Amino acid sequence: MADQQLSPQQAVNLVREWWTALGNNQQDKVLELLHEDIIWEVKFVGKWLPSEGVSRGKQAVAKNCIEMFGLMYDTDRLSVEITNMISDGRSVVIEFFIDGYTASGAAYEKVEYVSIVELEGSKVKHVREYMDALKATSAHQLT
């Protein structure tokens, strides 16, 4: 039996819970909210990431996105601030910024992001993540 579609507000609440857990480096909580067949695409800076920034399946996402987040940032000095969310119940568009420091101590100053998050029932199934690539590559010293 297929999962019921969430209401737009339920979808927003689920994605807010998921991004908050990621920002707080609560890896188990983040994984709990992911679909087994998740696809996570990191646009613009993907060429510096494993598999050109596209991870398929929960294990690959755990390694290439969630664990990497904890390695790339000083999560004790990092905040994620959500500025806007809109949903139809199946998808959520979320605007946010990350403020803080990279793991190497470089300032990561209000780097803006937009993510399109597709849901299947109460699980995150597909993420397309866009960010201010200029700020992100500069902070992480990518060339």
pLDDT score, position 141: 77
pLDDT average, residue stretch 83-108: 94
Written in H, E and C, the secondary structure of the chain is CCCCCCCHHHHHHHHHHHHHHHHCCCHHHHHHCEEEEEEEEECCCHHHCHHHHEEECHHHHHHHHHHHHHHHEEEEEEEEEEEEEEECCCEEEEEEEEEEEECCCCEEEEEEEEEEEEEECCEEEEEEEEECHHHHHHHCCCC
pLDDT score, position 1: 39
Domains annotated for the chain, with CATH where assigned, are 8-138 (3.10.450.50)
Q: Indicate the pLDDT class of residue 49, thresholds 50, 70 and 90.
A: confident
Q: Indicate the pLDDT class of residue 32, thresholds 50, 70 and 90.
A: very high
